[in-house]
């Protein structure tokens, strides 16, 4: 019969002869990928795990435990054993106490018997996994394993900043933008993709989301942090065009439009379809959010149809206004 054991921090668990194991004289045949070894039951060796009573009969006296055969123990310092223990815990969390009528672990070299005792086997295995995982991870300050990277956010879409960390005990995570803490909610979502990956999702992207984002990771042993930028791309647009204007001869006329875009758009003005040639009387100014055309000492010849246009690599927009000078 095949035996299964765990070895770590002075504890060794295996299937003794009385429960169907091979005892000290038994060999432990290797389980090949895809093969079906003889069915076994997993026994939790830890005294802190007490299996539920299966009957009211007085338990039989257990023989003295013998040393497991060579090759039938698992070293919990082996990274493969660590990953397997974590997978066991994740796969069967929530199945405690439920009868399972299926074999588990094909190809991994670990099997549970098809029987009504399978639920107990899995529960015991889960307890071993819980304990092993805690023992395997060293307590200490959190560390950044994969740093944040700059992300480009298109207006109206979502962006995600992802960071891989190592921390035990489990840390407290805090995200901030330009030094101001971000609350988990409809706009900003804290995401935990697996035990080591955390992310921030920024929804409904807009130009105001441009900035420096930081993550701060804290546990009782210390803290670490990292930061990256969200670069917002917004098609050039005119949010509010200039108004139609009537003016008297000699007055100063101004036409103003509200603009936006990232990268910053190119801006131009035309009159009756022709580009305006600037001088000290007719000129336009471009700010971060507005552009203004100024006409000093207006004359009737300045009357006409004026157009303002904006353009960047993501798009263009235009708006028109009528000027009448009398």
CA distances to 22, 43, 92 from 120, rounded to whole Å, are 22, 9, 12
- Please give the pLDDT value at position 155: 87
pLDDT at 230 over 70: yes
Mean pLDDT, the chain, whole residue set: 74
pLDDT at 235 over 50: yes
User: Which backbone phi and psi does 19 adopt, to 5 degrees?
Assistant: -105, 15
Q: How far is CA 149 from the centre of its chain?
A: 13
- Cα(76)–Cα(67) distance, integer angstroms: 18
Which residues make beta-bridge pairs with 194?
197
Segment 109-134 mean pLDDT: 44
0.85 cut: is pTM over it?
no
Segment 245-250 mean pLDDT: 95
Cβ-proximal residues to 267 (8 Å cutoff; 6+ apart), any chain: 259, 284, 286, 291, 308, 309, 310
Sign of CA dihedral 181, 183, 189, 193: positive
For the stretch 32-83, pLDDT in tens is 444 444 444 444 444 444 445 444 555 556 565 555 555 555 565 666 666 6
Alpha helices in the chain (DSSP H): 79-91, 118-136
Is 53 strand, coil or helix? coil
Tell me the two tokens of residue 17: 């002869």
- Cα(220)–Cα(142) distance, integer angstroms: 9
pLDDT at 223 over 50: yes
Taking 3-state DSSP, the helix, strand and coil percentages for the chain, each rounded to the nearest 5, stand at 15, 40, 50
- Please give the pLDDT value at position 84: 65
Residue with tokens 């090759």: 71
Cβ-proximal residues to 286 (8 Å cutoff; 6+ apart), any chain: 267
Which residues make beta-bridge pairs with 12?
7
- Please give the pLDDT value at position 63: 60
For the stretch 263-280, pLDDT in tens is 999 999 999 999 999 999
- Please give the pLDDT value at position 113: 37
Pairwise pLDDT comparison (266 vs 129), residue with the higher score: 266
Segment 9-25 mean pLDDT: 43
Q: Give burial (CB, 10 Å; 0-12/13-18/19+) of 306.
A: buried
- Please give the pLDDT value at position 131: 45
Q: Give 54-57's long-range contacts (Cβ < 8 A, gap of 24+).
A: 54/117
CA distances to 44, 66, 75, 89, 167 from 134, rounded to whole Å, are 17, 27, 15, 12, 12
Query: Cβ atoms within 10 A of the Cβ of 41, count?
Result: 19
User: Which backbone phi and psi does 190 adopt, to 5 degrees?
Assistant: -80, 130
- Please give the pLDDT value at position 33: 44
For the stretch 92-105, pLDDT in tens is 444 443 333 333 33
∠ CA 46-121-64, rounded to 5°: 45
Least confident of 1-5, 46-50, 208-212: 1-5
Pairwise pLDDT comparison (171 vs 15), residue with the higher score: 171
pLDDT at 179 over 90: yes
Residue with tokens 């539920």: 52
Strands 151-154 and 222-240: parallel
Pairwise pLDDT comparison (79 vs 287), residue with the higher score: 287
- Please give the pLDDT value at position 284: 96
Pairwise pLDDT comparison (8 vs 222), residue with the higher score: 222
∠ CA 143-148-154, rounded to 5°: 160
- Please give the pLDDT value at position 194: 78
Which residues make beta-bridge pairs with 306?
271, 321
Segment 215-231 mean pLDDT: 95
Strands 315-325 and 304-312: antiparallel
């Amino acid at each position: 019969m095949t035996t299964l054991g765990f070895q770590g921090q002075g504890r060794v668990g295996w299937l003794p002869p009385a429960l169907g194991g091979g005892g000290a004289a038994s060999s432990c045949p290797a389980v090949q990928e895809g093969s079906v070894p003889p069915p076994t039951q997993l026994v939790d060796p830890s005294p802190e795990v007490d299996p539920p009573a299966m009957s009211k009969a007085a338990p039989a006296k257990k023989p003295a435990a013998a040393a497991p055969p060579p090759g039938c123990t698992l070293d919990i310092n082996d990274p493969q054993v660590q990953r397997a223990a974590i997978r066991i815990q994740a796969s069967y969390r929530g199945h405690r106490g439920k009868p399972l009528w299926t074999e588990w672990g094909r190809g991994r070299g670990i099997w549970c018997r098809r029987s009504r005792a399978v639920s107990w086997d899995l529960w015991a295995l889960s307890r071993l996994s819980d304990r092993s995982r805690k023992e395997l991870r060293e307590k200490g300050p959190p560390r950044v394993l994969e740093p944040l990277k700059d992300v480009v956010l298109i207006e109206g879409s979502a962006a995600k900043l992802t960071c891989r960390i190592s921390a035990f005990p489990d840390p407290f995570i805090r995200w901030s933008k330009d030094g101001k803490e971000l609350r988990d909610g409809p706009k900003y979502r804290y995401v935990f993709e697996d035990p080591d990956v955390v992310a921030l999702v920024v929804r409904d992207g807009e130009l105001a989301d441009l900035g420096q984002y930081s993550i701060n990771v804290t546990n009782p042993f210390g803290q670490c942090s990292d930061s990256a930028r969200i670069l917002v791309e917004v098609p050039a647009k005119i949010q509010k065009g200039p108004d139609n204007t009537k003016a008297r001869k000699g007055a100063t006329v101004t036409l103003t439009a509200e603009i936006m875009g990232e990268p910053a758009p190119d801006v131009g003005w035309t009159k009756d379809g022709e580009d305006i040639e600037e001088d000290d009387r007719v000129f336009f100014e471009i700010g971060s959010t507005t552009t203004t055309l100024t006409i000093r000492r207006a004359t009737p010849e300045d009357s006409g149809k004026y157009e303002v246009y904006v353009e960047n690599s993501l798009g263009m927009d235009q708006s028109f206004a009528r000027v009448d000078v009398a």
